[in-house]
Amino acid sequence: MPLVFAVIIKSMKKMYFFIFIVIFSYPSVFCNKLYAQSHEISNSSKFLFPLGCTQGIDCWAVNYVDVDGIEGDGQDFKCGPKTYDGHKGTDFALGSIVQMRSGVDVFAAANGRVQRIRDGQSDRLKTDEEIATMKENKKECGNGILIDHGNGLQSIYCHLREGSIIVKPKQKIRAGQKIAQVGQSGMAEFPHLHFGVMWEGGIIDPYTGELSTQGCGKMKERMWHIGLPMDYNPVAIFDGGFRSKSPDFEAIKRGAENPQTLSLGSAAFVFWVGFYNVEKGDKVILKVIDPDGNIFVQRNEVLAKNRARQYYYTGRKIGRVQLQSGTYAGHVRIERVNGVVREKEFRVSVR
């Protein structure tokens, strides 16, 4: 009997709309062929970074391919937790919906031909009912593009911004050509691009050139162009700002903008920060410096759990004495037990 082998590409714990089915008479022949071909990939293509942003500054790789090949929590190629069970690509996240609305371009990672596109899906968080309908219709990827690079190699781009796709099926494209913009369509909890690589139906991790079933800690050859800053980033500070009351993080997730100034008569002064990929044992230090250079408020906390995306804030009530006029600086520092340190500063004017 022939074997029907289906590979379904997924996004943020949800299925994508592209399904590839290959029929072979002998499963062992298929597996051996796929493994042999995977060791030729790095010689046939190198990818450009597919986003118009700067990694570590205004976008970050927040989820990698799950390479453990078994059900469970999942492991990334460094044997770390920056993935989830069954994840089939790399998620490059923006800092906010505000940034997404400003327009962040998506580029073809290599020469090829557009095989399939979909547009018309809105960029926002979905309700439970909408998610159920999306699953039923297999539209979790949202707006997407599938590109065929030849010789069995394909790349997929998901969660694209509604109305931003500027290529058509069967169109030839070149590496670095703009094809769309980053969005939050489909089942996406935040604005990001899901970039996936397939070779003859198998999932490939572009950071190693290995099949996703080969396990962590292995390296054949990266599929990224030499010189690209594609280093593993264990933790990131992606957003932050100030409020005159406790921050509504749900509103922030939906795109509420940060005020550039606070009133002298504000009832409270609050500094908030967003993180990607914090881990148990991380030490977070939030500190606000007033216009005279003195510590206005500070919070130190050792984290008790791993979190893929987390927000923290500190602040104080102002009382009868109004705020001092001038520029306040919010400093955030995260320290990991293995020596990894990330720092960032945010500023706001009070007048």
Secondary structure class of 35 (helix, strand, coil): helix
pLDDT of res. 37: 47
Pick 188 or 201 by higher pLDDT.
188
Q: Which residues contact 57 (CB under 8 A, 6 or more apart)?
A: none
pLDDT in tens, 51-73: 999 998 999 999 999 998 777 77
Instruction: Give the Cβ contact number of residue 47 at 10 Å.
Output: 21
Mean pLDDT of 40-47: 63
In order of 175, 294, 310, 319, the CA distances from 316 in angstroms are: 51, 15, 21, 9
Distance (Å, whole) CA 77 – CA 210:
9
Given pLDDT bands bounded at 50, 70 and 90, which one contains residue 214?
A: confident
Q: Helix (H, G, I), strand (E, B), or coil: what is residue 9?
A: strand
Q: In the predicted model, is pLDDT for residue 256 greater than 70?
A: yes
pLDDT at 44 over 80: no
Q: Each residue of 200-211: pLDDT tens digit?
A: 989 999 999 998
Quote the pTM value: 0.82
Residues 6+ apart with CB under 8 A from 122: 162, 185
pLDDT at 30 (0 to 100): 35
Residue 320 has which token pair?
């009868």
What does the pLDDT read at residue 8?
36
H or E, element range at 310: strand 307-317
Residue 22 has pLDDT above 70, yes or no: no
Start-end of H helices in 39-181: 41-44, 97-102, 128-136
Dist. CA 133–CA 149, nearest whole Å: 32
Q: ∠ CA 312-277-328 to the nearest 5 degrees?
A: 35
| Predicted local confidence at residue 15, as pLDDT | 38
Delineate the domains of the chain, giving CATH numbers in brackets.
3-211 (2.70.70.10), 236-350 (2.60.40.2550)
> SS3 of 18, please?
strand
The stretch 312-319 carries a mean pLDDT of 95
pLDDT of residue 2: 36
Cα Rg of the chain, angstroms: 22
At residue 97, the pLDDT reads 93
The sign of the CA dihedral 234, 147, 132, 257 is positive
pLDDT of residue 232: 87
* pLDDT value at residue 99: 95
pLDDT confidence band for 193 (50 / 70 / 90): very high
Task: Calculate the dihedral angle through the C-alpha atoms of 215, 216, 220, 224, rounding to the nearest 10 degrees.
Answer: 120
Lowest mean pLDDT among 146-160, 162-176, 211-225: 211-225
pLDDT in tens, 84-107: 888 999 999 999 999 999 999 999
Per-residue pLDDT at 25 exceeds 50: no
Please name the residues in contact with 83: beta carbons below 8 A apart, sequence gap of 6 or more.
63, 64, 65, 66, 67, 74, 75, 76
Among 69-78, 189-198, 215-224, the range of highest mean pLDDT: 189-198
263-296: per-residue pLDDT in tens?
999 999 999 999 999 999 999 999 999 999 999 9
In the predicted model, is pLDDT for residue 159 greater than 90?
Answer: yes
Confidence of residue 42 (pLDDT cuts 50, 70, 90): very low
What proportion of the chain, given as a percentage, has pLDDT over 70? 87
Residue 3 predicted with pLDDT over 50? no
Gap between the Cα atoms of 184 and 121, Å rounded: 9
pLDDT at 260 over 50: yes
| Rounded average pLDDT over 214-231 | 85
* pLDDT at 129 exceeding the cut of 50: yes
